Amino acid sequence: MNIAIVGAGISGAYLGRLLTDEGLYADIYDTDNQDTACGCRSCGWAAPVGIERYLADVDLHLDDYLMGALSTMTFEGLAAKTPLCTINKPFLVSDLRSGLTVFQKALGPREAGAYDIIVDATGISRALLPPCRSDLVMPTLQYRVIAEPLGNEPLGAAVSGNWIPGLGYLWIFPLGAGEYHIGVGGIRLDTHERIMELFFQELARHYRVTPVCSCRGGVRLASPYYSTPFSVSRLRGDGKPQLIIGVGEAIGTVSPFTGEGIIYSLDCGRLLAASFPDEKRYTSNVMARFRWMKKERETVDYLLSDGKTTGPRLRDRWRFYRNARRSGIKLPLFEAFRRMGGLSRWIENP
């Protein structure tokens, strides 16, 4: 098979490494035109420490990319123990690409005709697949800052929805050496700059904050169920068949509640490599593995619906709690039910 992967981010580069280990060699195309200081778009670089087992699959080690351990994090004022960490995503992507054949250019029509299978790993742009049957994208704005405490208390990791007038949240992720990713994302939100301005004013009461860089982005919250089709077949100019198949955020492997997608993109790449090139088996496996994302998307749709007259229902609060437990975040059940919905600001004030 002649294989091309379009996109050399987390999912594309990881898949390329896994296929290589199976004796399948792919040409990778990546324009690398993010136009950001780090080469990545708005992403907090946070992931569960469980990412270690995925890195081990390609002979990489978490300690080489670890920036900070988020052993505790504040959720709407409630402190919780977590198994989360921040990783150096640009370095990780660079090492994943090592040893792969990467062309720093777009895949043109003439080159595309040479491949039997093309993998769409273009993330939020979903450049090669048809549109999702029901897409949902959350715009984001993130700053990398240096935050020096004016007292003795360093800035801690936190997630809060109280700053967002609608469905979304603000995050603070330590990167080590006094640096942080601080960002905001919200559905139907167009006041990102104003929210960040107000938050930095509040932060300035206790910290000296120096911005390093900033970037805009978007996160696909559609869930895989609503991101179908995962694959399409077409004929090339010579009449031979060609399969286009998606992986990672291109097919919605991101938690609709939290926007967490790094580890799920790796998991999706593993599923595709294990079933390659059987697209039907792959689709079935993705649907089964990430079926909980469909339920989270249904909650998001409910909270966004115009006919809604109450805040989160019991099932929605349970899904918030389950999301926390799935990530290993230890929240008391009652408090989680009461506060986790605060990420939408509808739990106390419908």
Who wins on pLDDT, 187 or 224?
A: 224
Q: Is the pLDDT of residue 343 over 60?
A: no
Query: What b/e string do you get for 298-319 counting C-beta neighbours within 10 Å, with b at 16 or more?
Result: bbbebbeeeeeeebbeeebbbb
The rounded percent of the chain whose pLDDT value lies above 90 is 71
**Residue-wise pLDDT tens digits, 205-252:** 999 999 999 999 999 999 999 999 999 999 998 889 999 999 999 999
Check if the beta carbon of residue 242 is closer than 8 Å to that of residue 235. Answer: yes
For residue 297, the Cα-to-chain-centroid distance in whole angstroms is 15
Averaged confidence pLDDT in the chain? 90
Neighbours of 120 (CB within 10 A): 25
Return d(Cα 106, Cα 116) in angstroms, integer: 17
The pTM assigned to this predicted structure is 0.93
Q: Among the listed ranges 32-36, 51-55, 122-126, which one has the minimum average pLDDT value?
A: 32-36
Alpha carbon 64 to its chain centroid, in Å, reads: 21
Q: Which of 158, 188, 166 is nearest to 70 (CA)?
A: 158
pLDDT tens-place string over residues 62-78: 999 999 889 899 887 78
- The rounded distance, in Å, linking the Cα atoms of 187 and 343 is 12
Task: State the CB neighbour count (10 A cutoff) for residue 207.
Answer: 21
Query: 330: helix, coil or strand?
Result: strand
What tokens does 44 get? Answer: 């907090």
Smallest Cα–Cα separation from 33: which of 104, 96, 102? 104
**E runs forming strands in the chain:** 3-6, 26-29, 46-48, 66-75, 78-87, 101-103, 117-120, 137-149, 158-160, 167-176, 179-187, 207-220, 231-235, 241-246
pLDDT for res 34: 66
How many CB atoms are closer than 10 A to CB 246? 36
Confidence band, pLDDT 50/70/90 cuts, at residue 348: very low
Question: CB–CB of 106/153 below 8 Å?
Answer: no
pLDDT above 50 for 349: no
**Annotated domain spans of the chain:** 3-63+88-135+222-294, 137-220
Q: What number is the average pLDDT over the span 179-185?
A: 96
Q: Which of 157, 149, 144, 152 is nearest to 208 (CA)?
A: 149
Q: In CATH, what is the architecture of 3-63+88-135+222-294?
A: 3-Layer(bba) Sandwich (3.50)
**How far is 55 from 79, CA to CA, in rounded Å?**
29
In this structure, CATH architecture of domain 137-220: 2-Layer Sandwich (3.30)
Question: Which pLDDT band, with edges at 50, 70 and 90, does 30 fall under?
Answer: very high
pLDDT tier for residue 334 given thresholds of 50, 70 and 90: low
Lookup: tokens for 156:
């801690």
- Cβ within 8 Å of residue 316, ≥6 positions away: 299, 302, 303, 341
Provide the 3-class DSSP secondary structure of residue 12.
helix
CB neighbours (10 Å) of residue 158? 20
Confidence tier at 119 by pLDDT (50, 70, 90): very high
Give the closest residue to 228 by CA, choosing from 246, 209, 202, 201: 246
pLDDT score recorded for residue 318: 87
Burial of 328 (0-12, 13-18, 19+ CB in 10 A): middle
